Amino acid sequence: MREIVPVQLGARSYEVRIGTGLLANAGAEIAPLLQRPRVAVVADETVADLHLEPLRAGLGEIEMVVLRLPPGEATKSWPHFTRTVEWLLDQKVERRDVVVALGGGVIGDLVGFAASVLRRGVRFVQIPTSLLAQVDSSVGGKTGINAPQGKNLIGAFHQPSLVLADLEVLGTLKPRDFLTGYGEVVKYGLLGDAAFFDWLEAHAPAMAAGDIEGRMHAVKRSIEMKAEIVARDETEQGDRALLNLGHTFCHALEAATGYSDRLLHGEGVAIGCALAFELSQRLGLCAQEAPSRVRAHLRAMGMKVDLGDIEGDLPGTEALIALMAQDKKVEEGKLRFILARGIGQAFVTSQVPHEVLAGVLDDALATRRA
Ligand code: GLY
């Protein structure tokens, strides 16, 4: 089972290959990119324990040197970035060599950024091992690390040369980690493809339970949508912002919960999508059925939907709005929102009156007390 989605970016175009057995066939997949039979692989400890030996076997005659980093968001930082770049230099990775990022979004973002600066830029291959990384972070070339001032504030656009999204590796994910990735999958239907959202309503429960053909369809459609938007607007001058549906709320909630496992990123995206549709409805942009349908589907999937689903304290409405104002999407002091005229009809706007936003958050916070 194998499908290819091209990302059309002129000289920087590449393929996202989706399927089963890609790790087992990694040597044949990657060999055409190599000038010599050697790759430098960076993985986190957890992923390395699960997937490094299958990758080694799949690479066959291709030699592999490995750097293992600690798992978790704290790895996306200057110390681990420096360590990665210096390790790559110690391994004598040359300008025409290829670096492999084996892992979730943290490893993909960090290694992509390291590849972007190493010898002024070397090629890299993404082998995403989480659903979230397969459908979002491994595609599109956003790379980087976090700063004390906020997430992803240091980085570069550096497109991979190939992405291998092996659906079999998703089999090792815990249900909560699968569902956090699902937050990004459902986002694609909500932002631009109502028929895909219909399909998810019917098929996502089976997919979450392991249906491999369903996973193929969901991952492929998500990547197709991302590839199409990235090809139109690689550096987010306009339409790429649509991919941030739910993220303005999400980033405020992640900051409020200390980027901890109280709220995983995709869980925040799901809650943020529900809030974005609620806000759209209150602004008269979409029918009441739209937010109800979004919420019903997320509930049916066993996902977090309301602020009441987040354990522990949360700040009040004005403090949450202040956290939103620290988002990268703020321009000239104005918050930018992705709102919707219906399911699959998202658009970007800064025209959101403060009192309507505050009303949505007041009511959402009230669900915590109900
Ligand atoms: N994750 C949003 C983007 O790649 O633009």
Distance from the alpha carbon of residue 176 to the mean position of ligand 1, in angstroms? 22
Number of domains, the chain? 2
Asked if residue 297 and residue 218 are part of one domain, the reply reads: yes
* Burial grade of 239 (CB within 10 A; 0-12, 13-18, 19 or more): middle
Instruction: Among 172, 197, 230, give the residue marking a domain's end.
Output: 172
Q: Which atom of ligand 1 is the closest one to the Cα of 136?
A: 1
- pLDDT tens digits along 17-26: 999 999 999 9
- Can you give the CATH number for the domain in which 9 is found? 3.40.50.1970
Q: Is the pLDDT assigned to residue 80 strictly greater than 80?
A: yes
pLDDT at 328 over 70: no
**Helix or strand or coil: residue 153?**
strand
Per-residue pLDDT tens digits for 24-43: 999 999 999 999 999 999 99
Q: Which two tokens stand for residue 99?
A: 């670096």
Q: Looking at residue 264, what is its pLDDT? A: 95
Q: 136 with 184, same domain?
A: no
pTM higher than the cut 0.85: yes
Residues 129 and 161 in one domain: yes
Indicate if 155 and 197 belong to the same structural domain: no
H helix or E strand, kind and range, residue 64? strand 63-69
**What single letter denotes the amino acid at residue 69?**
L
7, 16, 136: residue to mutate for ligand 1 pocket, most atoms within 8 A of CB: 136
Q: Kindly write down the DSSP assignment for every residue of 81-144, as one continuous string.
A: HHHHHHHHHHTT--TT-EEEEEESHHHHHHHHHHHHHGGG--EEEEEE-SHHIIIIITSS-EEE
Q: Is 109 annotated as a binding residue?
A: yes
The CA 138 to ligand 1 mean position distance, Å, reads 9
136 lines ligand 1 (CB under 6 A): yes
> Is 329 near ligand 1, meaning CB less than 6 Å away?
no
Residues 100 and 190 grouped into a single domain: no
Q: Are residues 166 and 203 in the same domain?
A: no
More confident residue, 51 or 327: 51
- Tell me if 140 CB under 6 Å of ligand 1: yes
Whether 225 and 135 map to the same domain: the answer is no
Q: Distance between CA 334 and CA 89 in Å, rounded?
A: 42
- Domain coverage including residue 322: 175-369
Residue type, 200: L
State the DSSP H helix or E strand holding residue 339, giving kind and residue range, or none if neither. Answer: strand 337-340
**Are 365 and 286 within one domain?**
yes
Average pLDDT of the residues of the chain:
96
Q: Which of 110, 143, 172 is the last residue of a domain?
A: 172
- CA 369–ligand 1 middle distance (angstroms): 34
Conformational region of residue 194, where left means phi above 0, alpha means psi within -120 to 50, and beta covers everything else: alpha
**Residue 157 and residue 239 in one domain:** no
- Answer for the pair 96, 38: CB distance below 8 angstroms, yes or no: no
pLDDT, tens digit, for every residue of 142-174?
999 999 888 899 999 999 999 999 999 999 999
How far is Cα 247 from Cα 136, in angstroms, rounded to an integer?
A: 13
Q: Would the annotation count 269 as a binding residue?
A: no
Known catalytic residues?
120, 142, 184, 226, 236, 240, 244, 247, 251, 265
- The best mutation among 240, 254, 329, 336 to test binding of ligand 1, ranked by most ligand atoms within 8 Å of the C-beta, falls on 240
Distance in angstroms (rounded) separating the CA atoms of residues 236 and 329: 10
- pLDDT digit string, tens, across residues 337-369: 999 999 999 999 999 999 999 999 999 999 876
Same domain flag for 187 and 86: no
pLDDT at position 149, please? 81
Nearest-CA residue for ligand 1 atom 2 is 243
- Give the CATH number, domain containing residue 293: 1.20.1090.10
What mean pLDDT is predicted for residues 270-294? Answer: 97
CA distance 27 to 43: 17
Q: In this structure, are 150 and 17 located in the same domain?
A: yes
C-beta of 243 in contact with ligand 1 (< 6 A):
yes
Q: Within this chain, do residues 199 and 164 fall inside the same structural domain, yes or no?
A: no
Closest ligand 1 atom to residue 230 Cα is: 5
Of 172, 195, 211, the domain-final residue: 172
